Amino acid sequence: MSYVELPGANVPIRMWADPKTVEGAAMQQLRNVATLPWIKGLAVMPDVHFGKGATVGSVIAMRGAVCPAAVGVDIGCGMSAVRTSLTAADLPDDLSRLRSRIEQAIPVGRGMHEDPVEPGRFHGVAAGGWDDFWGRFDGVAEAVKFRQERAVKQMGTLGSGNHFVEVCLDLNDSVWLMLHSGSRNIGKELADHHIGVARDLPHNQGLVDRDLAVFIADTPQMAAYRNDLFWAQEYAKHNRKLMMELLKDVVRKEFKKARPDFEQEISCHHNYVSEERYDGMDLLVTRKGAIRAGSGDHGIIPGSMGTGSYIVKGLGNEASFNSASHGAGRRMSRNAAKKRFSTRDLEEQTRGVECRKDSGVVDEIPGAYKSIDKVIDQQTDLVEVVAKLKQVVCVKG
């Protein structure tokens, strides 16, 4: 489908979703964003739903301004995936051991490594540059510097919520590895700090929603946020890279006889800010629950833990600011899902997937999410499908 254009105060709202299916609170958030004085464009993805300040599934292009709450608290959250040389025939009938090995190698929830992961131990991972990366931590906000030891030990960990590690099969029975995570606690600490700073700035006092408080160009607050934002986005990218290497190690050990090889990794942020140029203007493009889908860009659009996911290639649609959805998107809140579904429902909806089926992950049940197939069908002018995947193992935080 192509987009539907709705009127907005300062810019039109371009929607790759049926407006009739978008909850009222989310529609109001979109209208609020369109009132911002600095906004130059707003694109809405088919997985759109209510979020803090700005909806999840929106692309906000502003000139000389950025809204930290629109980026969100999991700065740099995103996906990584890689196709392996393994096939379905290589997998054992019982996948519980494989799931257990993954959980042992990659800490989940609030867990961390006892000793920091050493990047140099992995073939193909650059050993250099890490001292420079950690050295730049000295330049982040003073309020979070006491978290450095934790940040070092959480590098290469999954986190909680909707973060996951999966083993999947495509339609040709090739085995894929996939994971979803971001900048862990340090990203949240940095985000919370800067969101608090922005709310108190004089130019934000008259906004229709204080959660839309922005930093503006050529101010010390903007310089400080940009520094910390881009560092946290880099942390998230490194975090996924190290997790993928830990996951590959597990697969090599578990399938020694098959001697698995791995193709080039696909990696993409879906909560982040990028400096891009449109219509002759340099803009700060915030993708909150959206991936970059420039012409030829490979991306990952996951579904829920019992449905499947898509590997896609961008078509470079500038009307969407070269963007596409980041997943299926929730159709109900976590609390609503816990009230609506039981562990029995979870067992039924994740049949055939080796995963947790306890009350602690009921809020992640497939029924709490929109149909990933429908979400893909709504953005055929944004991406083309490269592969459809179905998980057989899912490790949840």
Residue 113 annotated as binding site: no
**Dmax of the chain from CA atoms?**
65
- Which helix H or strand E contains 341, and what residues bound it? none
Residue 220 annotated as binding site: no
Residue 135 annotated as binding site: no
Residue 165 annotated as binding site: yes
194, 238, 269, 326: which one is catalytic?
326
Residue 194 annotated as binding site: no
Beta bridge partners of 391: 168
Residue 45 annotated as binding site: no
Check: CB of residue 81 under 8 Å from CB of residue 300.
Answer: yes
Residue 24 annotated as binding site: no
Residue 328 annotated as binding site: yes
Give me the residue label for tokens 């292009």.
61
Check: CB of residue 372 under 8 Å from CB of residue 328.
Answer: yes
Residue 163 annotated as binding site: yes
Residue 118 annotated as binding site: no
- Beta-strand relationship, 298-302 and 13-15: unpaired
Vertex 257, ends 97 and 241: CA angle to 5°? 65
What is the C-alpha to C-alpha distance for residues 158 and 299, in angstroms, rounded to an integer?
20
> How many Cβ atoms are within 10 Å of 111's Cβ, its own excluded?
16
- 298 is an active site residue: no
SS3 call for 114? coil
Beta bridge partners of 143: none
Residue 79 annotated as binding site: no
Residue 327 annotated as binding site: yes
Residue 309 annotated as binding site: yes
Residue 164 annotated as binding site: yes
H helix intervals, 168-321? 184-199, 220-254
Residue 282 annotated as binding site: no
DSSP symbol at 203 = G
Q: Report the first-to-last Cα separation within the chain, whole angstroms.
A: 34
Q: Nearest Cα to 144, choosing from 65, 29, 228?
A: 228
Check: CB of residue 174 under 8 Å from CB of residue 83.
Answer: yes
SS3 call for 289? coil
Residue 371 annotated as binding site: no
Q: Nearest Cα to 385, choosing from 325, 318, 321?
A: 325
Q: Give residue 11's identity as a one-letter amino acid code.
A: V
What is the C-alpha to C-alpha distance for residues 36 and 293, in angstroms, rounded to an integer?
25
SS3 call for 185? helix
Two structure tokens written together for 216? 């503006």
- State the binding site for GMP: 162-166, 270-271, 302-305, 309, 326-329, 396
- State the binding site: 74, 162-166, 180, 270-271, 302-305, 309, 326-329, 396
- State the binding site for Mn(2+): 74, 163, 180, 270
Which amino acids are annotated catalytic? 326
